[in-house]
């Protein structure tokens, strides 16, 4: 199979690239091969990339014949060991190494390894293909490890004055405790806070791994106190502890490359140099996976081991006031811990059990001899010790879901870091502090002496677990030197000392233990009573809520019907009010018109006055004239032929009526204004093109009408003719279909002609 690639000189396919790798290529040939491979890889989809990498891994591997020959020569001459190394180097190693010399090549190799890790994690390919992909991934990791050494990395501190794109990337990359806006990121960069990151010269503006540090006066046990505390108005000279509360790797392709270890040690050295009062270095770390591990172990003890210890049974017995066996204990814990919404107040009663199981998960549960929890494995490899398990360390939704809100401190004692790291990596010995040791081995006093209770476990790692598996860095826990045996001397047996209360020391201790146990049981009983009381209150509230909901559901149809009736009555009232307001306006208009008509009539001849009265009478007799005012749109009303008025272009599309147009009314939104009637001349009426009749029919009569009109020279008669024409037009054509208007126009013109003959 030959995969065609982007043409670059003589290299046009993967077979050509393979031929270059099998020969002794020049640097230029390797550069061309690298660019061609990158072009083909980036232009393919996921399946195409996988096939391309599989073919590369299968055909550009180790030449076994050359390797066997070099081994044979090395057996005869030890100085030829470099020949063995050269023959054992696969061809794709040379290709990937050459890609690193191309512009942006380091980033390409990082992304390539991320893609390989995803494909290996999916495990959808065949076993033989997985082996090839793993070889390619290991080669990428080897190259990245050599490229991202400490000498090529630059430690930078992020401040508010840093470049904006770097601040934005740091905020976006934060994966442990999300950044909520500019105020949050500014608080993390403010007083008593530090933020450091690594840069590589090949990725100059890309933070590779980021750590957030809080300077405090003690080892913190709560992350909310760090991320949300605003009471920081005190000098930093009072701080003596550096808390590393967030470590984030931004490049998935660099997983397994020990950048986090380098960053923590570099930051610790930098802080110790800048802030000489800082003497303690510790993390405040989440415990991802603890809740899921515990629930699986409770549901399937045969597969994940028994986590129900004697201490757990005794604690649950003291809570329930009855004997609890392991099966009942698992049921009780599952009922309490399986809820999707975890309430700290309810799980508070099993706090000792969860703390002890958390210490077991961190220090005892192993995978291939190392800590099962990935965060614990990371810090233990770096040389830290498990210092303290913190209840209510992270009360966010994410913290409760991952570990019931529990967090852990990994303390870095700088002088013991190398020893702890070596013991963990080579001997698989976990370094823990006395506080965690006390959680793992709780002393129970039964017969006047301290006895360490052991965990019972059907399967798992408990069989090989003993106190010798731990390295205690606390001097108070260091083993004491063996004493030299002294000859025994018989001593007289003394009688038990009796105190003033009439009790011996053993009896007094027993009495104190019983009192303490009774006090503890009373405290647990009070907590249980509070929980029961809260549940009863919650139940009553739920019942009341359901009753209210049922009552509302019963009354809702009636309420909706009442609302509809109310809206209907309101609408009808508003409609009647609108009609009344319109009728009032009509009365006002009629009064204004009457006054205007009277004023006009006083200045004209008796003949004109009689004609005006005749017009008004005829207008009032027109059916439907006043009713049209209550309608929104006038349908087939004719276009008014008054060219010298502002509404003469046509009937209004919003509010219009024949009466308003006849009385020379102008309509403006919210008001009606009445003008003194202005009567156009006969010439203006005849020449108007918007009368609505066919233009040719009307134009045929224009000369006759004009000739007749000119015979009357007086202005009064001119005005009279125009008035008569407009009044007749409005009265006769109201509501008449268009096809009948032609005859009406002729009649109107005849009326004008008759008026001219008077």
Helices (H), 156-304: 164-173, 181-188, 223-227, 259-274, 290-299, 301-304
All residues at 6 or more sequence positions from 636 whose CB lies less than 8 Å from its CB, including other chains: 735, 736, 737, 738
What is the spatial distance between Cα 556 and Cα 678, in angstroms, rounded to a whole number? 61
Q: Which residues of 556-590 are buried (b: 16+ CB within 10 A; e: fewer)?
A: eeeeeeeeeeeeeeeeeeeeeeeeeeeeeebeebe
Question: Residue 403, exposed/middle/buried by CB under 10 A (0-12, 13-18, 19+)?
Answer: buried
What is the spatial distance between Cα 39 and Cα 43, in angstroms, rounded to a whole number? 6
Q: Which listed residue (34, 36, 246, 285) is catalytic?
A: 285
Q: Which listed residue (379, 403, 657, 756) is catalytic?
A: 379
What are 271's two structure tokens? 């802080």
Question: Residue 724, exposed/middle/buried by CB under 10 A (0-12, 13-18, 19+)?
Answer: buried
**With the C-alpha atoms ordered 48, 49, 51, 56, is the resulting torsion angle positive or negative?**
positive
What is the spatial distance between Cα 494 and Cα 297, in angstroms, rounded to a whole number? 52
Query: Which residue is it, tokens 């009573």?
Result: 529
Dihedral angle over CA of 579, 584, 585, 588, nearest 10? 160
What is the spatial distance between Cα 567 and Cα 572, in angstroms, rounded to a whole number? 9
What is the spatial distance between Cα 54 and Cα 478, in angstroms, rounded to a whole number? 54
Q: Is 212 a catalytic residue?
A: no
What are 654's two structure tokens? 């919003």
Q: Is 379 a catalytic residue?
A: yes
Nearest CA to 5 among 66, 75, 95? 95
User: How does DSSP assign 524-580, residue by residue?
Assistant: HHHHHHHHHHHHHHHHHHHHHHHHHHHHHHHHHHHHHHHHHHHHHHHHHHHHHHHHH
What are 443's two structure tokens? 């002393």
Helices (H), 602-714: 606-621, 658-662, 682-687, 695-710
Q: Which residues of 62-93 are buried (b: 16+ CB within 10 A; e: fewer)?
A: ebeeebeebeeebeeeeebeebbeebebbbbb
What is the spatial distance between Cα 168 and Cα 206, in angstroms, rounded to a whole number? 11
Nearest CA to 166 among 210, 231, 107? 210
Helix, strand, coil abundance in the chain, percent, nearest 5: 60, 10, 30
Strands 430-432 and 470-472, how do they pair? parallel
Nearest CA to 200 among 260, 148, 137? 148
Could you tell me how far CA 48 lies from the centroid of its own chain? 32
Q: What residues are annotated to the active site?
A: 285, 379
């Amino acid at each position: 199979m030959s995969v065609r690639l982007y043409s670059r000189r003589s290299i046009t396919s993967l077979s050509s690239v393979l031929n270059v790798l099998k020969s002794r290529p020049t640097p230029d040939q390797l550069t061309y091969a690298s660019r061609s491979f990158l072009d083909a890889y980036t232009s393919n989809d996921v399946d195409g990339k996988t096939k391309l990498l599989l073919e590369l891994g299968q055909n550009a591997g180790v030449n076994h014949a050359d390797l066997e020959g070099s081994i044979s020569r090395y057996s005869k001459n030890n100085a030829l060991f470099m020949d063995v190394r050269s023959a054992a180097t696969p061809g794709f190693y040379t290709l990937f190494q050459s890609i690193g010399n191309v512009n942006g090549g380091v980033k390409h190799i990082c992304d390539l390894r991320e893609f390989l890790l995803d494909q290996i994690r999916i495990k959808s390919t065949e076993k033989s293909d997985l082996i090839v992909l793993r070889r390619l991934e290991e080669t990428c990791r080897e190259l990245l490890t050599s490229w991202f050494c400490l000498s090529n990395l630059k430690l930078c501190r992020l401040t508010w004055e840093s470049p904006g794109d770097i601040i934005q990337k740091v905020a976006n990359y934060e994966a442990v405790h999300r950044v909520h806006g500019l105020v949050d990121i500014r608080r993390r960069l403010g007083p008593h806070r530090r933020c450091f990151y690594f840069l590589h010269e090949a990725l100059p503006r890309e933070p590779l791994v980021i750590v957030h540090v809080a300077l405090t006066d003690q080892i913190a046990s709560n992350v909310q106190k760090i991320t949300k505390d605003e009471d920081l108005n005190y000098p930093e000279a009072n701080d003596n502890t550096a808390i590393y509360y967030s470590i984030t790797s931004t490049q998935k392709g660099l997983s397994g490359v020990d950048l986090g270890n380098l960053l923590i040690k570099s930051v610790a050295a930098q802080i110790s140099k800048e802030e000489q009062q800082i003497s303690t270095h510790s993390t405040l770390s989440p415990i991802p996976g603890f809740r899921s591990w515990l629930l699986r172990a409770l549901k399937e003890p045969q597969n994940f081991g028994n986590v129900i210890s004697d201490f757990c049974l005794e604690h649950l017995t003291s809570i329930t006031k009855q004997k609890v066996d392991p099966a009942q204990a698992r049921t009780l814990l599952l009922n309490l811990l399986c809820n999707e919404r975890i309430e700290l107040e309810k799980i508070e009663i099993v706090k000792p059990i969860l703390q002890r199981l958390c210490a077991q998960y961190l220090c005892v549960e192993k995978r291939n001899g190392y800590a099962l929890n990935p965060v614990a494995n990371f810090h233990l490899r770096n040389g830290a010790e498990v210092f303290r398990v913190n209840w209510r360390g992270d009360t966010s939704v994410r913290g409760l879901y991952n570990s019931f809100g529990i967090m852990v401190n990994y303390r870095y004692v700088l002088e013991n870091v190398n020893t702890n790291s070596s013991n963990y990596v080579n001997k698989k010995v976990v370094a823990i502090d006395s506080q965690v040791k006390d959680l793992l081995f709780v002393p129970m006093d039964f017969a006047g002496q301290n006895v360490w209770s052991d965990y019972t476990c059907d399967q798992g790692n408990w069989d090989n677990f003993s106190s010798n598996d731990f390295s205690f860095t606390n001097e108070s826990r260091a083993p004491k030197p063996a004493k030299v045996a002294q000859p025994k001397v018989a001593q007289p047996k003394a009688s038990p000392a009796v105190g003033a209360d009439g009790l011996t020391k053993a009896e007094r201790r027993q009495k104190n233990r019983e009192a303490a146990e009774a006090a503890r049981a009373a405290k647990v009983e009070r907590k249980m009573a509070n929980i029961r009381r809260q549940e009863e209150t919650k139940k009553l509230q739920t019942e009341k809520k359901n009753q209210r909901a049922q009552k509302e559901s019963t009354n809702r149809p009636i309420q909706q019907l009442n609302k509809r009736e109310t809206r209907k009555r309101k609408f009808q009232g508003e409609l009647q009010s609108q009609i009344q307001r319109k009728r009032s306006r009509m009365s006002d208009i009629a009064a204004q018109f009457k006054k205007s008509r009277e004023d006009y009539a006083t200045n004209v001849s008796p003949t004109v006055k009689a004609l005006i009265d005749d017009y008004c009478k005829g207008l009032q007799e027109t059916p439907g004239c006043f009713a049209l005012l209550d309608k929104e749109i006038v349908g087939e009303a004719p276009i008014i032929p008054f060219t010298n008025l502002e509404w003469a272009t046509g009937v209004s599309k919003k509010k219009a009526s024949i009466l308003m147009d006849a009385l020379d009314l102008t309509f403006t939104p919210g008001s009606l204004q009445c003008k003194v009637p202005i009567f156009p001349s006969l010439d203006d009426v005849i020449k108007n093109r918007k009368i609505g009749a066919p233009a040719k029919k009307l134009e045929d009569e224009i000369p006759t009408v004009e000739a007749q009109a000119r015979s009357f020279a007086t202005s009064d008669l001119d005005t009279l003719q125009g008035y008569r024409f407009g009044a007749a037009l409005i009265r006769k054509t109201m509501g008449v279909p268009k096809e009948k208007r032609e005859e009406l126009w002729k009649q109107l013109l005849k009326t004008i002609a008759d008026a001219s003959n008077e």
